[in-house]
Amino acid sequence: MTSAPMTELDGLPLLAGLSHDQRAALAGIARHEDYEPGARLFEEGRLADRCWVVTAGCAVVDTDIPGRGRTVVQSVGPGELLGWSWLVPPYRWHFGASIAAPTSAVVVDALDLRRLADADPVLGYRMSRILVEALLNRLQATRIRLLDLYRHPDGD
Amino acid sequence: MATDPWLPVAHRVRRRRVETKDSATLVLAPVADRLPVFRPGQFAMLYAHGIGEVPISISDIPAGGVLVHTIRAVGAVSRALHSAEPGAVLGVRGPFGTAWDVDRAEGGDLLLVAGGIGLAPLRPALRHALEHRSSYRRVTLVVGARTPSDLLYDDELRHWDSLADVDVVVTVDHAADGWTGRVGVVTEPLASIPLDATRTTAMLCGPEPMMRYCARTLLGRGVPDEGVQVSLERNMQCGTGVCGHCQLGPLLLCRDGPVVDLPVATPLMLVKEL
């Protein structure tokens, strides 16, 4: 585990809406982490205290279904944000997550992020915009998946 | 060379490969006359004797007049074609319609986005790009399917993924046991893959809503709309722009499509029941 270098944050399209100084402030509370396949990031019901921006590799969000075991519901790849439950009380993970392939990520502790946003409302506002945009993209992608577009059609 | 677009030309099924539970690829060899050479994105009218005719995109263009079509069994005609065994004789008319403009992408990045059976019409474009690899910068293939077992051309996907000069992203809506790839819709990797937006030519093929959402994602990333091509489907019957069954607004898709530039397609895709 090392602190996240500025170049790593500068290379994230997700953070393009932040100024250099704001990314530097974020870098001050972020760290770089590497994970091996199978590493468990969090468990359903546990305290949601971190978020990840995957920079390489792949993490998966999953849940346990009786009779089916652990079932993957979503992949999170390079440039994407993993972990939302730290945003709102009761700060508990709704799903679990693990690593599917050798993965690198920028990791931020939720408490540090909330403190940073409280101390600098302009940065907090911009961070909120970034999070809302990412959430909206995830919501819309989930809706598209609900359409089951590739299902077998009915006839010629 | 057969030149009458109305006359089905006999082709014999040389090989049949099962792709998924409802899709198979047929390799068709001309019995006598050959059809003109197809271009990536064009389609043929395949005729199952005594049953009927449906449009099927070309999914590979080998030499010698051989045609390759991947067929999904969804109705009486396509079920008959899908189940045709080696030795069976089918009627083929074509080539029909517009092609992927692979030349326009030269010198820039090429992004191919396929959903479901939509990989079949894009495969010749990818093969063209690989055969002329130095003419393109980054080549990226993004493939979406319902489940891992619904993926077409699984061995080729692995081969393309092994190539150092092609980026392949495969994602499925629903994972299965043992699946270690991505889970999610194709729009999600599009939002984060490396992209030199203004130098990208994107070719989209799949269900129309998928193409709309993919196009929006790409436009949101700065890809100009004239840099996006889509493949549209309607009820193609004659293949020659005469019968009007495939009309989509001002277009007759058997003649003016299936490949259409996004600025032309967007207003048409937004009209309900057009």
Indicate if the pLDDT at residue A128 is higher than 90.
Answer: yes
pLDDT by residue (tens digit) across B163-183? Answer: 999 999 999 999 887 888 899
Enter the tokens of residue B104.
């326009």
Mean pLDDT value of segment B181-209: 92
Q: Is the dihedral of CA A12, A14, A20, A21 positive or negative?
A: negative
Mean pLDDT value of segment A110-133: 93
- Three-state DSSP at A30 gives strand
Q: In whole angstroms, give the CA distance from residue B86 to residue A120.
A: 71
pTM, two decimal places = 0.91
**Confidence bin at A1 (pLDDT 50/70/90):** low
Indicate if the pLDDT at residue A95 is higher than 50.
Answer: yes
A chain contacts of residue B75, beta-carbon cutoff 8 Å: 154-156
Query: What percent of the residues of chain A are helix, what percent strand, and what percent coil, each to the nearest 5?
Result: 35, 35, 35
What does the pLDDT read at residue B178? 80
Indicate if the pLDDT at residue A21 is higher than 70.
Answer: yes
Indicate if the pLDDT at residue A89 is higher than 70.
Answer: yes
Indicate if the pLDDT at residue A4 is higher than 90.
Answer: no
B78 touches chain A (CB under 8 A): yes
Residues B30 and B77 sit within 8 Å (Cβ to Cβ): no
pLDDT by residue (tens digit) across B235-261? Answer: 888 888 888 898 988 988 889 999 999
Considering only the beta carbons, identify the residue of B75, B193, B210 that sits closest to A149.
B210
In the beta sheet, which residues pair with residue B200?
B109
Indicate if the pLDDT at residue A122 is higher than 60.
Answer: yes
Q: Closest Cα to residue A49, out of A63, A29, A75, A66?
A: A29
With a threshold of 0.85, tell me whether the complex ipTM lies above it. Answer: no
What does the pLDDT read at residue B241? 87
pLDDT, mean over chain A:
91
pLDDT by residue (tens digit) across B53-85? Answer: 999 999 999 988 999 999 999 999 999 999 999
A117 touches chain B (CB under 8 A): no
B chain contacts of residue A78, beta-carbon cutoff 8 Å: 192
A chain contacts of residue B180, beta-carbon cutoff 8 Å: 100-101
Indicate if the pLDDT at residue A57 is higher than 70.
Answer: yes
Nearest CA in chain A to B180: A100
- Domains plus CATH for chain A? 2-149 (2.60.120.10)
Considering only the beta carbons, identify the residue of B22, B179, B209 that sits closest to A149.
B209
